[in-house]
Amino acid sequence: MKIVSRNTLRIHRKKRIRAKVEGTSERPRLCVFKSLTNVYAQVIDDIKGVTLAEANSKEAKGKNDMAGAKKVGELVAKKCKELKISEVVFDRAGYRYHGKVKSLAEGARKGGLKF
């Protein structure tokens, strides 16, 4: 019996989600990535294939925890406001919507983004 890693299962979930979620110029995609050391968020226009804004926990001067993820969400929302982006599509990239992902989303909402 073949053992499948957790990350491989996440990649399969990510592909299913990406088949349904697409960012446009009016409503770009807010994508989340978690590594062992940092939390990253980027706002992407999929039609043009361009990253409009990005933030990470190093830049937000936060730790790799829920509070740091919330700071990342607030920072990416601030950058989006400067670009006059108010609505985004949230892409959780196969991660469960709890913990750091949920904190990042709450921080982005607190910063003024609408999902």
Q: Where along the chain do its domains lie?
A: 6-110
Q: How many CA atoms lie within 13 A of 31 on its CB side?
A: 21
Q: Which CATH number fits domain 6-110: 3.40.50.720, 3.30.420.100, 3.30.530.20, 2.60.120.260?
A: 3.30.420.100
pTM score above 0.85: yes
Structure confidence at residue 7 (pLDDT): 92
Kindly tell me if the per-residue pLDDT of 12 is higher than 80. Answer: yes
Confidence of residue 62 (pLDDT cuts 50, 70, 90): confident
What average pLDDT does this structure show over 86-105? Answer: 94
Long-range contacts of 23-30 (CB under 8 A, 24+ apart): 23/47, 23/88, 23/89, 23/91, 26/87, 27/87, 27/88, 27/89, 28/52, 28/85, 28/88, 28/89, 29/88, 29/89, 29/90, 29/91, 30/76, 30/88, 30/89, 30/90, 30/91, 30/108, 30/113, 30/115
Mean pLDDT of the chain: 93
- What kind and span of H or E run contains 6? helix 6-20
